[in-house]
């Protein structure tokens, strides 16, 4: 038998013979379907955009309209446009206030979205990592986190073959090839290819440091820098080597380990003495030693 889980965080997991494969799916609901292993071919029609699977080619083609069709259906109250009438109907739940948070008054388009939101107030994290025991509010967050331990990178760039743990990271990476930089700073004119970098850049002008370390009180401009810093206090080694049993608190430590111990990665070589460095800024720091001192 094969268990197919369609979970609240919109992820389909197919378990068979002790192995699993995940693919993104739409629909904020949770269910489990038991099917015979001979029926696995029923889900062989794959959407190459979001990885959702379908039983028939007709269902796949209908789904593709979400990605390709114009958003012809609009909300009569706020004017927001959608690709299908079904999405409009679901969206209207926000205006009818059918699914309203009793804590903050925010409204959602479905019961599952409200349930997930409510965990922010209650602090509930029902999805726990089996490796490091870290908790998450949604299954999608857990799946994303699990790839830190497994090293799985299921999203591949068809141009340079670089792989990523998240589809969003792949989408951002593609701008490296297209040259697209849609986020521009109105103060200095510098453009960015991802929203996160743009938001963090704006704090250069404001000097805002909204992220605080609860261990030492140090302030940071970005959440990623804070998370990396916190691990220096907790000692959590979330980056595991896929070749051996070693694990590290910082990604840069793992990258350096892969290069030095398993020869996986890129060396930065001094063109004068041919000394090798695992990081580019180490090479830049080394180069001045070759400068001729003028008397």
Q: What are the structure tokens assigned to 15, written together?
A: 């378990």
Average pLDDT over residues 92-104: 88
Q: What are the structure tokens assigned to 155, written together?
A: 């999203």
Q: What is the DSSP string of 159-194?
A: TT--EESSHHHHHHHHHHHH----EE-TTT--EESS
Lowest mean pLDDT segment, chosen from 16-25, 43-52, 88-97, 280-289: 16-25
pLDDT at 295: 43
| Whether residue 112 is found in the same domain as residue 60 | no
Average pLDDT over residues 250-264: 83
Residue 236: Cβ within 10 Å count: 15
Q: In sequence order, what are the beta bridge partners of 12?
A: 6, 23
| Whether residue 143 is found in the same domain as residue 94 | yes
Q: Cα dist. 13→7, 23, 27, 30, 260 in Å? A: 8, 7, 14, 12, 36
pLDDT in tens, 154-173: 888 888 888 888 888 888 88
Boundaries of domain holding 98: 73-177
| Whether residue 198 is found in the same domain as residue 142 | no
Quote the percentage of the chain above a pLDDT of 70.
Answer: 80
pLDDT in tens, 121-142: 898 999 999 989 899 988 888 8
pLDDT in tens, 65-89: 666 656 677 888 888 888 778 888 8
pLDDT at 24: 41
- Answer whether residue 144 is part of any domain: yes
Average pLDDT over residues 60-69: 69
Measured in degrees and rounded to the nearest 5, phi and psi for residue 182 equal -75, -10
pLDDT in tens, 175-212: 888 888 888 888 898 888 888 888 888 888 888 888 89
How many domains does the chain divide into?
Answer: 4
pLDDT at 35: 38
| Whether residue 155 is found in the same domain as residue 106 | yes
Instruction: Map residue 31 onto helix, strand or coil.
Output: strand
| Whether residue 58 is found in the same domain as residue 11 | yes
| Whether residue 255 is found in the same domain as residue 286 | no
């Amino acid at each position: 038998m094969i268990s197919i889980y369609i979970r609240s965080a919109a992820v389909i997991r197919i378990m068979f013979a002790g192995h699993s494969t995940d693919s993104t799916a739409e629909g904020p609901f949770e269910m489990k379907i038991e099917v015979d292993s001979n029926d696995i071919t029923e889900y062989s029609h794959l959407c190459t955009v979001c990885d959702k699977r379908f039983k028939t080619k007709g269902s796949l083609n209908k789904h593709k309209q979400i990605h390709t069709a114009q958003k012809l259906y609009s909300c009569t109250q706020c004017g927001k446009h959608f690709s299908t009438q079904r999405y409009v109907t679901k969206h209207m739940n926000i205006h009818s206030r059918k699914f309203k948070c009793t804590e903050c008054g925010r409204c959602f388009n479905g019961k599952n979205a409200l349930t997930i939101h409510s965990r922010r107030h209650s602090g509930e994290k029902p999805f726990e990592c089996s490796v490091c025991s870290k908790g998450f509010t949604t299954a999608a967050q857990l799946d994303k986190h699990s790839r830190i331990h497994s090293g799985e990178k299921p999203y591949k760039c068809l141009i340079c073959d670089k792989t990523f743990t998240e589809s969003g990271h792949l989408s951002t990476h593609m701008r490296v090839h297209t040259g697209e930089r849609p986020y521009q700073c109105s103060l200095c004119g510098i453009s960015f290819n991802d929203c996160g970098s743009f938001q963090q850049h704006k704090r250069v002008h404001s000097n805002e440091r909204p992220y605080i370390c609860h261990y030492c009180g140090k302030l940071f401009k970005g959440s990623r820098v804070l998370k990396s810093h916190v691990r220096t206090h907790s000692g959590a080694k979330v980056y595991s080597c896929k070749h051996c049993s070693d694990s590290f608190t910082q990604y840069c430590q793992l990258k350096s380990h892969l290069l030095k111990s398993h020869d996986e990665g890129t060396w930065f070589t001094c063109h004068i003495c041919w000394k090798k460095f695992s990081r580019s800024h180490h090479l830049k720091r080394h180069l001045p030693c070759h400068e001729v001192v003028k008397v």
